[in-house]
Amino acid sequence: MANLKIHPVRRMDAVLQVPGDKSISHRAVILGGFAGGETRVTGFLPSEDCRASLSAMQAMGVEMETVSRGDYIIHGRRGKLRPPAEPLDCGNSGTTMRLLAGLVAGQPFTTRLFGDASLSRRPMRRVVDPLTLMGATLTCEGENSRPPLVVRGAALLPIRYQMPVASAQLKSAILLAGLQAPGLTVVEQPEVCRDHTERMLQHFGASLRAGDGGRRVELYGDTTLNGKDLRVPGDFSSAAFWLVAAAALGGARLTLTKVGLNPTRTALLNVLMRMGAQIKEHVESNEFEPYGTLQIEEGGGLRGTTVSGAEIPNVIDELPVIAVAGALAEGVTVIKDARELRVKESDRIATVAGCLREFGVEVEEQPDGMVVYGGNPIRAARVASRGDHRIAMAFAVLALFADGPSLIEDTDCIKTSYPTFEEHLEQIMEGDLAGKFRLGVGLVNSVKRLVNQRKTSRQDARPPS
Ligand code: S3P
């Protein structure tokens, strides 16, 4: 079991490019493999989660050529997948399981989807209900609608469906099924959640429209998608860890390049700006997904805020690191309407609250969120990730602010979404050492200058001979 040892930093001056977006990478192999023709994907995230989707599509007959790491040519099967010889292993990835459930619901064969211990605890009822209404037969082999999930595909019918939770995985499962049903499928979301599936479907030529401020999505099914080139931008949710670190650290400077700036993902920027951060956003390209540069020129001085309501789905993966920002801010930070956090890779309300307490932060756990009392010194700690990648990374960030070295245990899970996290963390910590060295050299030079000035002024003060 891997651990991360983290020493506190006092300065930060970094330029980073985070790896490809996880959500877009999943969709690139799933939709690229389903569409007709070739899809070239560059910047694919080579993480364990995305590999699970890639291997599942290969197991259903999709051929892929590797051009280089993260650069693939996918030969799509024009809507006709092959029955997999074995059950599909979705690993730790809820996105793989729920999106594939929607995809195979319209195929004329039976598929069994299973995952690791964490995924086996996650609710699948949300996809079972609409896909059953559309005509597929789904069975959860775990208790209480938990995986493994067996999907018997069928000729589907379109539906009009009001989603009970604002979940992009659920919306995408319905749209992937709707793609295979003749007529109009309509999905209504309680709040707008990430729209990567809709954007990619449109990019591939599907007839899709959004209404009601993005809450309603209408898709005409039974059309052939045509594969197209896709450039996957950097994952905003990975960038979030460094954004919070830089926003909280006095005088910090940070530039993040080629990072995804889809507005359904970037609400953290609004949260941090409300907390007092100054962040410059520069959109460089607006292909099917916008991306660009984010810059913080001087971090420090955060104050507490409230995150709730419609903002929640657009910060859902950033909530653990927002709680960390709250611990580093003056005053109180409230997170509410975020009950969904209870059914993520871990119960993120309980895990975050437990870890914050280990670092000496006062926190009140609520059924749908938490209250974080910030601004007190952070005590060095030893915490366990509980196998949850975002917990491991969020608390690695908090450890940068502690009063001594900390240990994050069980950090292998970071590979599910951010394989180069440790490298980037080292870069931040080494940058601080280099900074201390520069500061040391600077101090020596200032002392030298002072001594020289004194000498000169003494010489100047001597009476001319
Ligand atoms: C994702 C949607 C979100 C998010 C997850 C990725 C996606 O989950 O938390 O990390 O790619 O669609 P929910 O749909 O369960 O909110």
Q: What are phi and psi of 286, to 5 degrees?
A: -130, 55
Torsion of CA 25, 150, 206, 93, to 10 degrees: -20
Interval 279-301 mean pLDDT: 96
Q: How confident is the model at residue 97 (pLDDT cuts 50, 70, 90)?
A: very high
- Pocket around ligand 1 at a 6 A CB cut-off: 23, 26, 94-95, 167-169, 172, 194, 316-317, 340
What does the alpha-carbon distance between residue 438 and residue 339 come to, in Å, rounded to a whole number?
46
Interval 137-156 mean pLDDT: 98
What sign does the dihedral 270-253-24-207 (CA atoms) show?
positive
Look up residue 378 and give its DSSP letter.
Answer: B
Q: Mind giving me the DSSP string for 68-120?
A: ETTEEEEE--TT-PPPPSS-EE-TT-HHHHHHHHHHHTTSSSEEEEE--TTGG
Of 232, 254, 265, nearest to 25 (Cα)? 232
Atom number of ligand 1 nearest to Cα 167? 14
CA 166 to each of CA 69, 170, 191, 216, 413: distance values in angstroms, whole numbers, following the listed order: 34, 8, 6, 12, 25
What SS3 state is found at 454?
helix
**Residue nearest to ligand 1 atom 13, measured at CA:** 167
Residue with tokens 């051009």: 67
pLDDT of residue 430: 84
Q: Count other Cβ atoms within 10 Å, centred on residue 121.
A: 17
Pocket-testing residue among 169, 237, 262, 347, ligand 1, by greatest number of atoms within 8 A of Cβ: 169
CA 265 to each of CA 92, 203, 239, 309: distance values in angstroms, whole numbers, following the listed order: 21, 19, 11, 15
pLDDT of residue 434: 61
First to last CA, the chain: 77
Torsion of CA 175, 177, 183, 187, to 10 degrees: -30
Atom number of ligand 1 nearest to Cα 166? 16
Q: Mind giving me the DSSP string for 389-451?
A: HHHHHHHHHHHTTBSS-EEEE--GGGGGT-TTHHHHHHHHHHHHHHHHHHHHHHHHHHHHHHH
262-278 pLDDT per residue, tens: 999 999 999 999 999 99
Distance from the alpha carbon of residue 452 to the mean position of ligand 1, in angstroms: 62
308-362 pLDDT per residue, tens: 999 999 999 999 999 999 999 999 999 999 999 999 999 999 999 999 999 999 9
Higher pLDDT, 137 or 452: 137
What sign does the dihedral 251-322-27-97 (CA atoms) show?
positive
**Residue nearest to ligand 1 atom 9, measured at CA:** 317
Higher pLDDT, 28 or 223: 28
218-244 pLDDT per residue, tens: 999 988 899 999 999 999 999 999 999
pLDDT of residue 433: 67
CA 404 to each of CA 5, 9, 291, 359, 400: distance values in angstroms, whole numbers, following the listed order: 11, 10, 37, 11, 9
Interval 444-452 mean pLDDT: 49
Per cent of the chain over pLDDT 70 is 93
Distance from the alpha carbon of residue 170 to the mean position of ligand 1, in angstroms: 9
Pocket-testing residue among 23, 175, 195, ligand 1, by greatest number of atoms within 8 A of Cβ: 23
pLDDT of residue 436: 56
Q: How confident is the model at residue 438 (pLDDT cuts 50, 70, 90)?
A: very low
Chain centroid, CA 347 distance in Å = 16
What SS3 state is found at 322?
helix
pLDDT of residue 277: 98
What does the alpha-carbon distance between residue 365 and residue 383 come to, in Å, rounded to a whole number?
18
- pLDDT tops 70 at residue 280: yes
Q: Average pLDDT, whole number, for the chain?
A: 94
Of 196, 111, 126, 198, nearest to 162 (Cα)? 126
- pLDDT tops 60 at residue 440: no
What does the alpha-carbon distance between residue 410 and residue 389 come to, in Å, rounded to a whole number?
9
Of 407, 400, 458, 459, nearest to 431 (Cα)? 400
What does the alpha-carbon distance between residue 256 and residue 242 come to, in Å, rounded to a whole number?
9
Pairing assessment for the beta strands 331-335 and 306-307 based on DSSP bridges: parallel
Please name the residues in contact with 248: beta carbons below 8 A apart, sequence gap of 6 or more. 299, 300, 302, 325, 328, 329, 401
The pTM of this model reads: 0.93
Distance from the alpha carbon of residue 213 to the mean position of ligand 1, in angstroms: 20
108-123 pLDDT per residue, tens: 999 999 999 999 999 9
**Domains along the sequence of the chain with CATH:** 3-19+303-430 (3.65.10.10), 22-231 (3.65.10.10)
- pLDDT tops 90 at residue 390: yes
What does the alpha-carbon distance between residue 385 and residue 399 come to, in Å, rounded to a whole number?
13
Interval 128-141 mean pLDDT: 98
- pLDDT tops 90 at residue 255: yes
174-198 pLDDT per residue, tens: 999 999 999 999 999 999 999 999 9
Interval 204-210 mean pLDDT: 97
Distance from the alpha carbon of residue 393 to the mean position of ligand 1, in angstroms: 17
CA 153 to each of CA 138, 150, 241: distance values in angstroms, whole numbers, following the listed order: 9, 10, 40
- pLDDT tops 80 at residue 450: no
Distance from the alpha carbon of residue 313 to the mean position of ligand 1, in angstroms: 9
Higher pLDDT, 137 or 286: 137
pLDDT of residue 435: 53
Per cent of the chain over pLDDT 90 is 91
pLDDT of residue 457: 41
Interval 266-292 mean pLDDT: 97
Pocket-testing residue among 92, 316, 389, ligand 1, by greatest number of atoms within 8 A of Cβ: 316
Q: Count other Cβ atoms within 10 Å, centred on residue 138.
A: 21
Catalytic positions are 317
**Residue nearest to ligand 1 atom 16, measured at CA:** 167
Question: Which range is least confidently modeled, 153-162, 219-228, 394-403, 451-460?
Answer: 451-460
What does the alpha-carbon distance between residue 192 and residue 208 come to, in Å, rounded to a whole number?
16
